[in-house]
Each structure stands twice: as structure tokens, then as C-alpha cells.
Amino acid sequence: MPKKWRQKFRKWATDKMELPPDVMMDLPRVTIVGQLHIYIENHKGLLAFSDKEVRLLLKQGQLLIKGQSFVIKTILPEEILLEGKINEVMYLNE
């Protein structure tokens, strides 16, 4: 199945079934509470972790989180809860 057709089908299915786009299109869901907590669902793995930087693999690209005093509170195969002072969240299309 061609990639372009697959994307059109996913958009059509999302619209018709009223499903959230992150579910149908395999996108990450990022929830940030102030500067203290960040919860990421639907990632593909932890690439790097330090007390100042976290890098997660996504289906397309990476998510880079910069800050201070990071602690992983919860980590599951496709979910992570990070605590610390969050200064920057960047999507890297690499």
C-alpha cells in the first residue's frame, strides 16, 4: 500500500470514527504540568538520559527535553513520566 494512500486512509478513518489523531496516526501525546512534570505516551524508546537531558525515539524523529534535576518517576514500554525543571521541549525530525 503506497504511503500517501495510507496517510489518507488514516485521516479518513480518524474523521469517520471520531478517534483521537494520536491513536490512529501513531503520534506521541505529550502532557506538561507547569515546569515540573512531563508525561509522554506512545514513544518508541529511551535514547539518552541524564539529569539535564532526555531524548526519546518517536515513530518519526525524536523528542528532546532539556532542563535540570530530571528523575524518571515511571517508565513503561511506550510511556514515561519525568520530573524536574523543564526548560525546553523540542521535536527533532532526524
Give residue 24's Cα distance to chain centre: 14
pLDDT tens string, the chain, 94 residues long: the values are 566 777 677 677 666 666 555 555 678 999 999 999 999 999 999 999 999 999 999 988 999 999 999 999 999 999 999 999 999 999 999 6
pLDDT at 4: 74
The Cα–Cα gap between 12 and 71 comes to: 40
**What is the value of pTM for the model shown?**
0.75
Give the dihedral sign, CA 14/15/21/25: positive
Output phi, psi for 17, to 5 deg: -90, -5
8 Å CB contact between 24 and 8: no
The Cα–Cα gap between 68 and 84 comes to: 6
Domains of the chain in start order, with CATH, are 26-92 (2.60.40.2000)
